[in-house]
Amino acid sequence: MVEIIIKETEDSMFKVQITIKENGSIRIEADQIELLDSEGKPYNLEGKNSISLCRCGLSNKKPFCDGAHKGKFEHKAVAPE
Ligand code: FES
């Protein structure tokens, strides 16, 4: 399980952008990202302000995307209007 927690900070400019990529990963961009495993232990994301999470299940680097989805996963990510 991957848990995404968005925390509000004292800096009101804090922003997280999550993009569902077409036929691919979930891209997360933020000033700070803390990604915890199912036991609450953080992944080492030192210096990173963007990550891509696998949503196809084919990555060998789960929970991160390693590009294995290419040509093997289809989902048109379009938000309903
Ligand atoms: S979404 Fe890229 S490997 Fe699964």
CB 18 within 8 A of CB 6: no
pLDDT of residue 26 exceeding 80, the answer is: yes
CB 30 within 8 A of CB 42: no
Q: What is the pLDDT of residue 32?
A: 87
Q: What is the pLDDT of residue 2?
A: 53
Torsion angle, CA of 16/80/53/73, rounded to 10 degrees?
Answer: -160
Q: Phi and psi for 53 in degrees, rounded to 5?
A: -100, 140
Measured in Å, residue 64 CA sits from the centre of ligand 1 at 7
Q: What is the pLDDT of residue 7?
A: 61
**Which of 19, 54, 60 most suits a substitution to test ligand 1, by most atoms within 8 Å of the C-beta?**
54
Residue with structure tokens 């789960």? 62
Q: What is the pLDDT of residue 15?
A: 81
**Which of 56, 72, 74 most suits a substitution to test ligand 1, by most atoms within 8 Å of the C-beta?**
56
Domain layout of the chain by residue ranges = 1-81
Sheet holding 26-30, edge to edge: 16-20, 26-30, 50-53
> What does DSSP assign to residue 12?
T
